[in-house]
Amino acid sequence: MTSEDGEVRRGEMSETPTFTKCEETMFTSVPENVDDFHRRYQSPLSSRYTSPEMSYNFSDHRKFTTWRKLWIYLAKGEKKLGVPIKNTQIEEMEQFVDKIDFQQASEEERITRHDVMAHVRVFGRCCPSAAPIIHLGATSCYVGDNADLIMMRDGFNILLPKLARCIYRLSEFAKKYKDLAILGYTHFQPAQLTTVGKRACLWLADLLMDLHNLTRARDDLKFRGVKGTTGTQASFLQLFNGDEKKVKELDILVTKMAGFKSSYKICGQTYSRKVDIDVLCTLASLGATIHKICTDIRLLSNLKEVEEPFESNQIGSSAMPYKRNPMRSERCCSLARHLMTLSTNSLNTAATQWLERTLDDSAIRRISLPGAFLTADIILHTFQNISEGLEVHPMVIDRHIKQELPFMATENVIMAMVKAGSNRQECHERIRVLSHQAAAVVKDQGGDNDLVERIKADSYFSSIHDEIDSLLDPKSFIGCAPNQVTEFIEDEVKPALRPYHRQLEVYAVLNV
């Protein structure tokens, strides 16, 4: 019921709303005549952008074959330390490492609501003689956490050569343009000159920090190992009849089989979720670097000074055929923002873990950990493609310099006049007046900066007329930039790239 003024009275229900035909038919049933792939939502990270190697690294096949390998490592270690496990049982498990019935595993999980036990049962059906010893003494995190650590380690190993290639391409670009003067900008307002190569070195310096950080984050990863349900290894102590030495040996054996140098000595049911913070924040920092660089490229593209590659058949706009949009850099910025936000998930998860563990970490980690590595993979691949085709337009750069350089050169003019015997204050005032006149031409009339012409036409400056052109040479305004580029590349970039020297000649091709 409603009052005369149209308001619904408290405690009374409004009339049942009516829907238009459009609203009733907005949702339709799932079509049966469309293939399964195209009638389900697919994450663009995996279906559109990421590399095959990174996509596979976090795929179900990689994850669950890794689980099976971990069960084999556990069985081998237990057998070596005296648990009655037969060679034939281990051989049977090894025969079915990559022969996984995913449909059967899904059906089991629907019944059990437990992914690990679903795969234990399916693996056991493949290996009936080994079924009694699969997962012996272990908890779910033995396969879950250890597999995550393996996939993150391998994810870093995929990313690092790609980052190295980005650094290498940019260093070659920086060397090529180390002497090319260009307007510097502070507050996105013209400032002192720099060089195209020196600006690229600003980008390189940040990327080198990321190379160091990714390497450290990878090398800091340890194995969770065999720690039991709450990290006390009680089940394994019972398995070995109280022999703590064997418990420790088992942990070491399995850790080495998994390719790690050491395991975390202290765990709850899981490894500390602060490890995920370190991983995701390191990747988020990489995202911040790529975002900054690609934002710079977008700004320079607007100025038409430096542009990302643009192919002959590429279309910038469906409506405006002349457009040359920096879509690669825009993609990097877009995905870099996503990458940066994922670190928040790891912070919230670590902060809300109760005592030895709570399961509300599980679902979000299935999304954020693979998502971070896939996103980092995409932006590095895309940025490498950008860095391999950056276009520089010296004539445009020179025109922009000529528009601003006369103002920047006024201090040099004053110094030359003083050396010629003029009064510094008087000279300053004359240049101030001429500068404002020239600025009015630029701002109010849309003309070119004619300050130099005004100085040359003023008899007061006749004593230095022959010097004015040399005072305006852009190279006299770039300081030590060229040598800084050379020294930086020789002293810092080249040493950092040595571990990747065999992987630098791989080129990045975009599919979309």
Alpha-carbon distance of 286 to 353, in angstroms, equals 27
The set of residues, in sequence order, having a beta carbon less than 8 Å from that of 35 and lying 6+ positions away, is none
SS3 184: strand
User: Which one, of 48, 29, 27, 31, lies nearest residue 39 by Cα?
Assistant: 31
Strands (DSSP E) found in 356-424: 391-392
- Token pair 């090529």: residue: 176
Does the active-site annotation cover 436?
A: no
29, 38, 187, 459: the catalytic one is 187
Alpha-carbon distance of 225 to 248, in angstroms, equals 10
Longest dimension (CA), the chain: 104
The set of residues, in sequence order, having a beta carbon less than 8 Å from that of 423 and lying 6+ positions away, is none
User: Which one, of 175, 166, 152, lies nearest residue 207 by Cα?
Assistant: 166
Distances, alpha carbon 305 to alpha carbons 308, 391, 398, in Å: 10, 8, 9
Distances, alpha carbon 52 to alpha carbons 49, 224, 249, in Å: 9, 27, 37
Strands (DSSP E) found in 402-444: none
Alpha-carbon distance of 119 to 77, in angstroms, equals 21
Does the active-site annotation cover 187?
A: yes
**What phi, psi does 181 have (nearest 5°)?**
-65, 145
User: Which one, of 350, 372, 357, lies nearest residue 144 by Cα?
Assistant: 357
Give the end-to-end CA distance of the chain in Å, rounded to a whole number: 56
Q: Is there a contact between 436 and 424 (Cβ–Cβ < 8 Å)? A: no
The set of residues, in sequence order, having a beta carbon less than 8 Å from that of 367 and lying 6+ positions away, is 345
Burial (Cβ within 10 Å: 0-12, 13-18, ≥19) of residue 489? buried
47, 106, 317, 470: the catalytic one is 317
Alpha-carbon distance of 389 to 408, in angstroms, equals 32
Q: Is there a contact between 434 and 455 (Cβ–Cβ < 8 Å)? A: yes
Strands (DSSP E) found in 245-329: 306-307
User: Which one, of 111, 230, 141, lies nearest residue 121 by Cα?
Assistant: 111
Q: Is there a contact between 368 and 345 (Cβ–Cβ < 8 Å)? A: yes
- Token pair 């080198």: residue: 208
Alpha-carbon distance of 384 to 198, in angstroms, equals 19
SS3 194: strand
- Which of the residues are catalytic? 187, 317
